[in-house]
Structure 1
């Protein structure tokens, strides 16, 4: 994640530290939870469901950032 770009899109300078903390957790959370979720999916159904779950998450991620037009 490019920290310089993130600081440009924060809503207010007064809450920048809090917002950067939330962004840090949002960035680190998937790296912590991903292996546990992947191991559960693989143990229940193998690698094919893991790739299907990954594909669904990619599409959801693309839909989540599609409304973002530009940096103010």
Structure 2
């Protein structure tokens, strides 16, 4: 699991239902805000920002590059 507060980029959506809406999350960057049932809860991926969290396995995320 990634540490809470880590910026991550979504590379897959294996734990989410397959739909065009979930596939749009791939490539987006968010922040790990919680861990639940062995999953990383990531917020900031949608226009609602921190109001919506999505659950991802470690395999569906990569660390986001730091801003320079």
Q: Which has the higher strand share?
A: 2
Q: Which has the higher helix share?
A: 1
Taking structure 1 as the reference length, what is the TM-score of the superposition?
A: 0.24
Taking structure 2 as the reference length, what is the TM-score of the superposition?
A: 0.25
Bigger Rg, which one: 1
